Amino acid sequence: MARSADLDFVRLFTDGACSGNPGPGGWAYILQHPASGKVIDGSGAESATTNNRMELTAAIEGLAALKKPCRVELVTDSEYVGKGLRDWSPKWKANGWRRKEGKSYKPVVNVDLWQRLDEVASRHEVTVTIVLGHNGHPENEACDRMAVAAYKALVADSR
């Protein structure tokens, strides 16, 4: 029988992809609930974006898909998202979403998405695992295929 803590645990795999940077891009996530075996996924695309924006969007959309507070292991190949969520964003937030550059503060790049990620992550207990991209990790590879397919479909539809 699963413990109640196990029932609240999910794994969130995310990836973003971009054709050109900037260019058309896609994002994707896979959510796994190990206790029940349930898996859901999602993906989407934007016509003019960057890879970092798609990586952030994948994490945001995956966390936003959760219906109740959970313990979440966020698995990403993006050091930008992983280190940003785990290490950098608390300092940015404390400094009014600005980062120190030399002796002055500069606005955080992609602040709209960092603030949204902070908002959706705050509903959960999130830990981050950074994996090497394009290295045979099954869920990371699946998210990459979904993200690429999403932006390719968007490009095909716009022709």
The H or E element spanning position 10 is strand 9-18
Q: 99-133 pLDDT, tens per residue?
A: 989 999 999 999 999 999 999 999 999 999 999 98
> Is the confidence at residue 1, as pLDDT, over 50?
no
**Average pLDDT of 39-44?**
98
Q: Could you list the residue range(s) of the whole structural domain that residue 54 is in?
A: 4-157
Rounded Cα gap, residues 129 and 12, in angstroms? 10
pLDDT of residue 67 exceeding 50? yes
Catalytic residue set: 15-16, 55, 77, 134, 144
- Of the candidates 137, 136, 131, 1, the residue with the CA atom closest to the CA atom of residue 73: 131
Q: Which two tokens stand for residue 3?
A: 């413990």
> pTM value?
0.94
User: Domain containing 9 — which CATH number?
Assistant: 3.30.420.10
Number of domains composing the chain: 1
Task: Give CA separation, 119 vs 1, 45, 97, 116, in Å.
Answer: 33, 22, 13, 5
